[in-house]
């Protein structure tokens, strides 16, 4: 049986430009900054890249929980971390790739136990172009333009609990996490060695602490571009959390566009809950911030009353209650 945390979240972005693409070569002037967006049919969907979301998450873990982040080394056109998941929390949770010399162990790679989608607008829209000038200097003002949007961004993530704090020495891409010097460190620090499966395992208390803090960081998620003039709280305003046996993300399609608004598809959520009940290893935790999608309050209350395996509350209540269950899974 595999154990994976799956999470779905909505981020409210009412006047935002959280991730920008820079200038477009076809623009009429050079002073236009575009937001990142994708097209589907005739509609445009602003988005925040998965890389940006992971940057926010890693940064929040450092500031809120004091994570020991792996130092980055730059060599010409490449950059890499220390590739030491024993000492550095983020090398364990966010993965790494580093090309060591052959005598040092060769190239090592680690698939990130934490996987994230981009945050993508639920509704299609054309971003607003805002015109501004820099006029505090002597002489003519310098005009510029940038884009922003008003939408709700959806995202999914998963956390592979079986891989967190478990480091493989297999000669296989993504699974050759270890090299001789790191194995010496693993032995010195008392990690458990599983010779049959070519892996080292960290103590349970460290694995549980890292997994819980990844989840507990969600209500404090911070980051984004243009905060000086578009200040946006990027912490989730709606969230669903559960642990499942498997790797597919069962909550991916529970939000939809309806007449230009983002709505939770309660019937789709009910279907997922019923059809995948046999895969769920925990209760399903639903959190919502008051003031966001208030029309959902009654429907979620009824869903909770009708199903003893669904717990609901505020964002922090849902996150904390779910995080407390992680120790039973590892």
Q: Per-residue pLDDT for 11 more than 90?
A: yes
CA distances for 250 relative to 29, 155, 227, angstroms: 45, 13, 33
Q: Per-residue pLDDT for 59 more than 90?
A: yes
- CA dist 258 and 263 (Å) reads 7
Query: What average pLDDT does this structure show over 215-227?
Result: 95
Percent of the chain residues past pLDDT 70, beyond the cut = 98
- Quick: pLDDT tens for 253-282: 999 999 999 999 999 999 999 999 999 999
- DSSP string computed for 47-107: EE-HHHHHHHHHHHHHHHH---PPPPEEETTEEE----TTT-HHHHHH-EEEE--GGGTSE
φ, ψ (nearest 5 deg) of residue 258: -140, 110
**Residues pairing with 43 in the sheet:** 40
Give me 69's structure tokens. Answer: 């982040």
Q: Is-contact 134 145, C-beta < 8 A?
A: no
- Quick: pLDDT tens for 154-193: 999 999 999 999 999 988 888 999 999 999 999 999 999 9
Q: Is-contact 35 49, C-beta < 8 A?
A: no
Give me 169's structure tokens. Answer: 């020495």
Say what the pLDDT of residue 169 is: 92
φ, ψ (nearest 5 deg) of residue 320: -65, -40
Q: Per-residue pLDDT for 23 more than 80?
A: no
- Residue written as tokens 């669903």? 240
């Amino acid at each position: 049986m595999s154990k994976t945390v799956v999470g779905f979240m909505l981020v409210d972005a009412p006047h935002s430009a959280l991730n920008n693409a820079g200038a477009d070569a076809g623009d009429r002037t050079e002073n236009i900054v575009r937001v990142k967006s994708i097209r589907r049919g005739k509609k445009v969907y602003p988005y925040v890249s998965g890389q940006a979301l992971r940057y926010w998450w890693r940064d929040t873990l450092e500031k809120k929980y004091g994570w020991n982040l792996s130092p980055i080394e730059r060599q010409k056109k490449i950059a890499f971390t220390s590739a030491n998941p024993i000492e550095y929390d983020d090398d364990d949770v966010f993965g790494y790739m580093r090309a060591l010399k052959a005598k040092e162990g060769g190239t090592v790679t680690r698939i990130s136990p934490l996987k994230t989608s981009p945050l993508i607008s639920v509704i299609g829209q054309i971003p607003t172009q805002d015109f501004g000038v820099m006029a505090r200097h002597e002489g003519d003002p310098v005009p510029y333009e940038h884009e922003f949007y008003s939408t709700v961004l959806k995202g999914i993530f998963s956390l592979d609990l079986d891989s967190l704090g478990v480091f493989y020495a297999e000669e296989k891409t993504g699974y050759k996490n270890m090299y001789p010097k790191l194995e010496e460190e693993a032995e010195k620090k008392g990690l458990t060695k599983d010779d049959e499966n070519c892996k080292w395992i960290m103590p349970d208390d460290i694995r549980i602490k890292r997994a819980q803090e990844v989840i507990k960081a969600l209500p404090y998620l911070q980051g984004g571009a243009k905060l000086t003039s578009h200040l946006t709280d990027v912490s989730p305003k709606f969230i669903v959390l559960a642990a499942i046996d498997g790797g597919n993300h069962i909550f991916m399609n529970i939000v939809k566009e309806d007449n230009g608004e983002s709505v939770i598809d309660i019937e789709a959520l009910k279907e997922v809950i019923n059809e995948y009940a046999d895969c769920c290893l925990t209760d399903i935790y639903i959190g919502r911030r008051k003031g966001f999608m208030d029309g959902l309050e009654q429907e979620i209350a009824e869903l909770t009353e009708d199903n003893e395996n669904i717990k609901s509350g505020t964002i922090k209540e849902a996150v904390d209650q779910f995080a407390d269950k992680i120790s039973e899974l590892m």
